Structure 1
Amino acid sequence: MGIYLANNLGYTVTCCPDPSRLAAALAECRPTIFLAVPRVWEKLKAAVEAQVAAAPPEFRAAFDDAMDAHLARVRAEQAGTALDEATARRAAAGEAAVLAPLRAKLGLDAAEVRLVGAAPTPMPVHQFFAALGLMMAEVWGMSELSPIATWNPPGRIKLGTCGTALPGVEVRLAEDGEVLVRGPIVMRGYRNQPEKTAEAVDEQGFMHSGDVGRIDAEGYLTIIDRKKELIINSGGKNMSPANTRQRSSPAAR
């Protein structure tokens, strides 16, 4: 996504060789598209909270009031209800005085698409950035799916879900709840491993993801469990529970 699509669609890519300098890189390049694993968003949230904590009391109070009003706005939008006039006025004032300058300082004021994926994102992180005016579109997929199968469409984001299937992609649930995917994004197979490929992709062309999910009436997917042993942490790292248990045992230590 970072190299092939950029080459074909004309994106400009900024590489940051040191993850600890990400905040400075964001402020310098001001990306229009930003995709990160949940742990990166968690660290950005912590950085904002640390800056606010070190600010004068007047700014802290203004920030808290703005975030409170905009969190109410986000909850109203998600529920499909109207925001009361008093809260709407507070939200407008906080947006101009606090939140817009803060987004510019973060370097995300120009970000039109803000994606998060590779692991579940905690709801407090979703709500924090949504209130800040940086609502994240959570995606779901795997390397075998090139790699995204579902995403939250701009303007129709449901926090806590992985969104709907991409155009031309079919997502359904097996009897045991496993998420199955069929479409042009499904891999042709594991290199020189036909038996493993046959286990992953059935005769109907559905990729068996190993994730267990539910799909609501509007087609939004939510991952609720893991069928296969492999799990992914908030940093996007694949981990085997068996290996983790082994490493943490007294004998292993």
Structure 2
Amino acid sequence: MQKAILGLDIGGTGIKGGVLVNGHLEDIRSIPTPAHESQEYILQTIADFIHTYEYHELIGIGIGIPGLVDTKQGIVLGLSNIPSFQHVELKKYLTTKFQKPVFINNDANCFAIGVHKYGVGKPFKNLVGITLGTGTGGGIVINGHLYSGSFSAAGEWCSAPYLDHNYEYYCSGKFFQNFYHSKPKALAKLALTGDAEAQKAFDEFGHHLGELLKTILYALAPEAIILGGSIRKTFPLFKKSMYETLQTFSYPTVLENLKILISELDETAIHGAVALVDTEEIKVEA
């Protein structure tokens, strides 16, 4: 049997899994997250889900979660959308149960290492991954390695002050909800028919995202910035205003050499989770 890596994406509404076999992701499925149950119940649900993958010869388990993690100890410090999942010794629990190496990190960090390992980020040693969805997340790869910072909090530009709120308020689905009382997908359909108000929404979004990217450039000047998340699919609608805003960046040479790319991976969360394992040196018995 071929050796496989299991990747899990644990979110507030669903737990999604898939295995990497010979560089290909397969056996992708999901179950609902029992978000309002006890910590013990949720842990058992995760374990039961992993058990369904045991017919694969698993060499390790990678997990991405939307929250802060003590990556060394594998402790989930808290998830806002799963009330009971606070200070959870998830690595210890799963290592004891399955006797496999377990690696856990923030989901945006997983996205960054996932696109670097398997996606359009492959050619670059230094990149930033930005997820644009219900919220905004960021991950950093430096010299080919994921930089998580303390408690996986590196790259959290979403929480940095911007205008009267923070970047996430203006660079995620929240912007469209708060200012246009609609979801990005619905507005995109209108914009593509020539609706002026919808087009204005994406022009403004592109401007705000451009300001976020400038902040990233001042801090890290990466070779590439990779955009992921559901809003990435509307890139043609905000590309022009984003680039116009980037032209005000103070170092033209940096900007001229920057690549801004759209992730082509549909299962970025799972790719990122398996990358946590795939980038580690794990001794596998023959």
Normalising by the residue count of structure 1, what TM-score does the alignment of the two structures yield?
A: 0.27
Give the number of the structure whose alpha-carbon radius of gyration is greater: 1
More strand by share: 2
